Amino acid sequence: MTNPTARPGGRTARIRAQVLDAVRAELAEHGYDSLTVDTVAARAGVHRTTVYRRWGDVGGLLADVYDAAGDDDWEPPDTGSLHGDLAALNEEIQAAMVMRPPIMEALIAASFRSEAAADAQRRLWEDRYVRCEVIVERAIGRAEIPPGTGARRLLVTATAPVYHHLVLLRAPLDPALPADAARTAVLAAVAGAFTEGS
Amino acid sequence: MTNPTARPGGRTARIRAQVLDAVRAELAEHGYDSLTVDTVAARAGVHRTTVYRRWGDVGGLLADVYDAAGDDDWEPPDTGSLHGDLAALNEEIQAAMVMRPPIMEALIAASFRSEAAADAQRRLWEDRYVRCEVIVERAIGRAEIPPGTGARRLLVTATAPVYHHLVLLRAPLDPALPADAARTAVLAAVAGAFTEGS
DNA sequence: ATGCTAGTGCAACATCCGTCGCATTAATAG
DNA sequence: CTATTAATGCGACGGATGTTGCACTAGCAT
């Protein structure tokens, strides 16, 4: 017996699909600036009130777009070397930040205005870091880096400069940065920077 | 002969001071959320239009608060070791992000909405990184790290994880992170991660 | 089919946000 | 002191942003 109050029927799902499609389309055509509840509702052929009631604000819309995307098929790169994996990962991050439609960029911007978007962003990054731990495990298996290397700290060291450069400093894209940051993290890991006992 | 159109007289300066004080007070009492042009104007005893004309938006106000602060007296820490300097620097960054009133945090949030705030932020960070280059020079002088070590890349490697943790991931404050990130950067620098010729 | 009701459409409303034209004030030059 | 003219005050406006009450539509159970 399902919850009698729930009603995930055809119309609800259909409207959700219409609205989320409208968000993606609007994002692709006019970017994050013109992404307002009104615009999305009009494009989806849905009344403003419906969007406000179900999603609350723009951040809620983006968060739902992200959850709906549910990119559960994503896997971290596997190039055969730690440096190759990290560099490829950083390239993906850099590409995602410049991507059209700029979903990633929009989500980050929205996370400063909406709690829902901030949560979606936290969930996304947490998920990604967990999935990427296999990169470190493989490197340990290849004896590239010492056993006991902390995966999370290594991954943050490798990727943080890319985010810092593009999101915070908003500096022009630096093609060498992904590989450079990856190389730095590898050298630090080899030197034992991420092993527990000092 | 000064420019006859300029008029930096008493009233202009007085109103600027009133408005900037109001921004700081409002920020301290109610945070960044309730920091609107209207609120600030009312608190400063100034008309809304005046604020809109001179500062444009909330980002402009924050940018001017920052410029007015003009912390030209700031100097990077000098502890006697590269690791000590970087760890102290990261501690300062972490403290600035938790500081009350949250000027730094507000400036970052505003930089996603206002071009003026984004510029102020860029200027601030650029200035800080340039000033911090002396940390790397001193370390080279002490023969802690190889000559030719790129200051900027070393500094970004050391500080980016702190920003990433607090601003993007919005994770709870990690007291060990400043020292850890500093240690990582030192190890990478010693291993030659930031020297030009490979 | 029929009734129930979650979900939606609709319109009116209250704010907030930013801009504009014009009157007024006050800093500066002479 | 007087004239000039930035800078400010003021009110009104147009548009965007959310909210609310009510009617209605369409899933779902029976």
What are the tens digits of pLDDT across the range B8-41? 667 788 999 999 999 999 998 988 888 999 999 9
Confidence of residue A12 (pLDDT cuts 50, 70, 90): confident
Tell whether the model's pLDDT for residue A68 goes beyond 90: no
Confidence of residue A70 (pLDDT cuts 50, 70, 90): confident
**Same domain (yes/no): B156, B92:** yes
pLDDT of residue A7: 55
How many beta-carbon pairs below 8 A join chains A and B? Answer: 81
Position B49 in a domain:
yes
pLDDT of residue A198: 47
Cβ B173 vs Cβ B166: under 8 Å: yes
Tell whether the model's pLDDT for residue B5 goes beyond 80: no
CA nearest to B123 within chain A: A169
Domain of A37, CATH number, reads 1.10.10.60
Confidence of residue B178 (pLDDT cuts 50, 70, 90): very high
Residue A164, both tokens: 């810092």
Instruction: Tell the burial category of A13 from Cβ atoms under 10 Å away from its Cβ (0-12, 13-18, 19+).
Output: exposed
**Same domain (yes/no): A48, A105:** no
Tell whether the model's pLDDT for residue A88 goes beyond 60: yes
**Same domain (yes/no): B99, B152:** yes
DSSP at A152: H
Position B196 in a domain:
no
Position A36 in a domain:
yes
Give the distance, in angstroms, between residue B9 CA and nucleotide C27 C1': 6
Residue B69, both tokens: 């602060």
Q: Give residue-wise pLDDT tens across range A112-122.
A: 889 999 999 99
B109 contact residues in A (CB cutoff 8 A): 112
> Cα(B158)–Cα(A39) distance, rounded to whole angstroms?
42
Position B74 in a domain:
no
**Same domain (yes/no): A31, A115:** no
pLDDT of residue B4: 47
**Same domain (yes/no): B114, B160:** yes
Q: Which residues contact B169 (CB under 8 A, 6 or more apart)?
A: A122, A125
pLDDT of residue A8: 63
The total of other beta-carbon atoms located within 10 Å of residue B97's CB is 17
**Same domain (yes/no): B32, B130:** no
B107 contact residues in A (CB cutoff 8 A): none
B87 contact residues in A (CB cutoff 8 A): none
pLDDT of residue B7: 55
Tell whether the model's pLDDT for residue B100 goes beyond 90: no
pLDDT of residue B6: 60
Distance from the Cα of B130 to chain A's closest Cα (Å) equals 14
**Same domain (yes/no): B41, B106:** no
Tell whether the model's pLDDT for residue B146 goes beyond 90: yes
Query: Does the beta-carbon distance from A191 to B190 stay under 8 Å?
Result: yes
CA nearest to B158 within chain A: A157
Residue A4, both tokens: 């009698």
> Cα(A176)–Cα(A181) distance, rounded to whole angstroms?
9
Question: Nearest to residue B157, comparing CAs of B120, B129, B122, B126?
Answer: B129
**Same domain (yes/no): B90, B50:** no
Distance from the Cα of B2 to chain A's closest Cα (Å) equals 37
Position A66 in a domain:
no
**Same domain (yes/no): A125, A165:** yes
> Cα(A193)–Cα(A186) distance, rounded to whole angstroms?
10
Cβ B188 vs Cβ A191: under 8 Å: yes
Cβ A40 vs Cβ A51: under 8 Å: yes
Q: How many domains does chain B have?
A: 2
**Same domain (yes/no): B37, B90:** no
Tell whether the model's pLDDT for residue A1 goes beyond 60: no
A160 contact residues in B (CB cutoff 8 A): 160-161, 163-164
Mean pLDDT within A136-152 = 97
Domain of A156, CATH number, reads 1.10.357.10
Position A76 in a domain:
no
**Same domain (yes/no): B88, B46:** no
Tell whether the model's pLDDT for residue A2 goes beyond 60: no
Closest-lying nucleotide for B51 based on CA to C1':
D8
Tell whether the model's pLDDT for residue B2 goes beyond 60: no
Q: Which domain holds residue A120?
A: 82-190
Distance from the Cα of A115 to chain B's closest Cα (Å) equals 12
Position B1 in a domain:
no
Query: Does the beta-carbon distance from A170 to B125 stay under 8 Å?
Result: no
Instruction: Tell the burial category of A147 from Cβ atoms under 10 Å away from its Cβ (0-12, 13-18, 19+).
Output: exposed
Position B4 in a domain:
no
pLDDT of residue A32: 87
**Same domain (yes/no): A95, A142:** yes
Mean pLDDT within A11-25 = 91
Tell whether the model's pLDDT for residue B1 goes beyond 60: no
